[in-house]
Amino acid sequence: MEESLCEKKAFPKLVQEVLQIDKEYFGMKGETLFNLIVEGLGFEKGLELGLDTVDEKKSILFTLNEKNTKLFPDMLKLSHVDDEGVFLKNLFITYANLYPSIRQKILFKHLFMQLEQAIKKKKKIKIYYQGNLWEIIGIALERDISTGYSFLRAKTKDKEYQFEVKYIEYIA
């Protein structure tokens, strides 16, 4: 078993603020959020904007999970960036500059793929939402104007509902 990488990097205030907002909105621990970001954006070309930001910086300490520890050298190689710190800053700055619904899609890509397929095929699915099982037909994934995060517009029998995606736990 490979040893997990423990990372401590300083990030601009904007990144800190966005990470805090998402931790609170999704009710997840920082470690989980940080690993989902590395997993979701590690092989993508990131923004180089903001790397030289003269903003207040704060360090984040986190440990890469086993999957990210294995993939990290390949992510670094494909990015053509030699410095791990620069690579991670690039990754988190990219994440922080994305719209909330896109950040949400990065964190929960498998859930979004299932929902998008069901909507596309007009397939009846069951979702577990806030402690209740619903049988629905998805209509569309849309953005909440007030939060910027996603909700699922769906119908069940003759009524239409909006389900905040963050509360959808299971799809069958």
State the pLDDT confidence band at 82, using cuts at 50, 70 and 90: confident
pLDDT at residue number 5: 65
* Averaged pLDDT score across all residues of the chain: 89
Determine the average pLDDT of the residues in 83-103. Answer: 92
With respect to residue 103, please indicate whether it lies within any of the assigned structural domains.
no
Number of structural domains (the chain) is 2
pLDDT at residue number 53: 55
Whether residue 167 sits in one domain with residue 91: no
pLDDT at residue number 48: 57
Determine the average pLDDT of the residues in 6-32. Answer: 89
pTM of the model: 0.84
Could you give the 3-state DSSP secondary structure of residue 110? helix
Q: Residue 144: is its pLDDT beyond 90? A: yes
pLDDT at residue number 75: 93
Whether residue 68 sits in one domain with residue 133: no
Give the domain-ending residue among 71, 98, 125: 98
pLDDT at residue number 47: 64
List pLDDT tens digits, range 32-62. Answer: 999 999 999 988 877 655 555 556 777 888 8
Whether residue 37 sits in one domain with residue 73: yes
Q: Give the single-character DSSP code of 150.
A: E
Whether residue 132 sits in one domain with residue 93: no
User: Looking at per-residue confidence, does 81 or 115 come out higher?
Assistant: 115
Helices 30-41, 13-26: crossing angle, 10 deg rounding:
110
Determine the average pLDDT of the residues in 4-29. Answer: 87
User: Looking at per-residue confidence, does 158 or 103 come out higher?
Assistant: 103
In the chain, the amino acid numbered 42 is: G
With respect to residue 21, please indicate whether it lies within any of the assigned structural domains.
yes
Q: Which residues contact 147 (CB under 8 A, 6 or more apart)?
A: 25, 100
Least confident of 52-61, 94-103, 107-116, 133-142: 52-61
Q: Residue 3: is its pLDDT beyond 70? A: no
Q: Are 19 and 96 in contact (CB under 8 A)?
A: yes
Least confident of 2-16, 85-99, 121-135: 2-16
